[in-house]
């Protein structure tokens, strides 16, 4: 295990806030940080419906959809086809979409992201750049 990751979790005790611990950890895949560094890990095959939610497309696949294929996770008035919308706002405002198709829309209190679904792989880099410029709470 990478010492940088171990130092984040090595002092964990019940009741600690995991978000605070994750904020201190380097952004690295568990494959590289842990699995490739140990000979004490093992794999046990199971079937419990796991899906890696590492992409917006995988989140879209697991969510319920309306009759035209939209994933709506909040109160929204819409006329969009196959659009992913993720909404978080303390003001509970309504978002109305018209004529927008195949989009990922993420609206938080700090930022609004609108991206074509075909460009979802670029989101991670864009978020990293925004966090560097504006801070970690951007998205």
Dump pLDDT digits (tens) for 68-89.
777 776 655 555 666 667 666 6
Strands (E), 5-75: 71-72
Model pLDDT for residues 99-131, shown as the tens digit of each residue: 778 888 877 777 778 888 888 888 888 888 888
- Residue 77 φ then ψ, to 5°: -100, 125
User: 3-state DSSP call for residue 129?
Assistant: helix
pTM to 2 decimal places: 0.50
Averaged pLDDT score across all residues of the chain: 76
């Amino acid at each position: 295990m990478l010492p940088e990751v171990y130092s984040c979790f090595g002092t964990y005790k019940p009741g600690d806030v995991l978000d605070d611990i994750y904020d201190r950890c380097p952004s690295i895949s568990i494959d590289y940080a842990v699995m490739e560094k140990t000979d004490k890990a093992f794999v046990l095959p199971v079937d419990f419906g796991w899906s890696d939610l590492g992409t917006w497309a995988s989140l879209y696949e697991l969510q319920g959809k309306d009759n035209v294929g939209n994933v709506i996770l909040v109160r929204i008035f819409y006329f969009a086809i196959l659009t992913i919308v993720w909404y978080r706002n303390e003001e509970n405002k309504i978002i109305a979409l018209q004529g927008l198709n195949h989009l990922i829309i993420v609206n938080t209190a700090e930022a609004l992201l609108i991206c074509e679904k075909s460009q979802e792989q670029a989101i991670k880099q864009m978020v990293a750049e925004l966090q560097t410029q504006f801070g970690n709470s951007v998205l």
